Amino acid sequence: MSLNLDRSLDYLKMLIIVGILILVGQRFGYGISIFSALPGMIIVILISFLALTIKDSFPNLHFPAFAWASLTALILSMPFMPTAELFLKYTNEVNFLGTTTPILAYAGISVGNKIEELRKLSWKVFIVAVAVFIGTYFGSAIVAHLVLKMQGII
pLDDT in tens, 82-99: 999 999 999 999 988 888
Predicted pLDDT at 2: 62
3-class secondary-structure state, position 141: helix
What percent of the chain has a predicted confidence (pLDDT) above 70?
A: 99
Is pLDDT at 23 greater than 90 in this prediction? yes
Cα dihedral: 101, 33, 43, 98 (round 10): -20
Tens of pLDDT, residue by residue over 110-140, are 777 777 777 777 777 788 888 999 999 999 9
- Residue 12, pLDDT > 90, answer yes
Instruction: Please check whether residue 37 is in contact with residue 94, taking contact to mean a CB–CB distance below 8 angstroms.
Output: yes
CA distance 107 to 114: 11
Mean pLDDT, range 34-53, rounded to an integer = 95
pLDDT (0 to 100) of residue 113: 77
- Residue 1: pLDDT band (50, 70, 90) is low
Residue 154, pLDDT above cutoff 70 = yes
Distance of CA 24 to the CA centre of its chain: 17
Q: Where do the structural domains in the chain lie, given as residue ranges?
A: 5-115, 121-154
DSSP code of residue 81: S
Whole-structure pTM value = 0.71
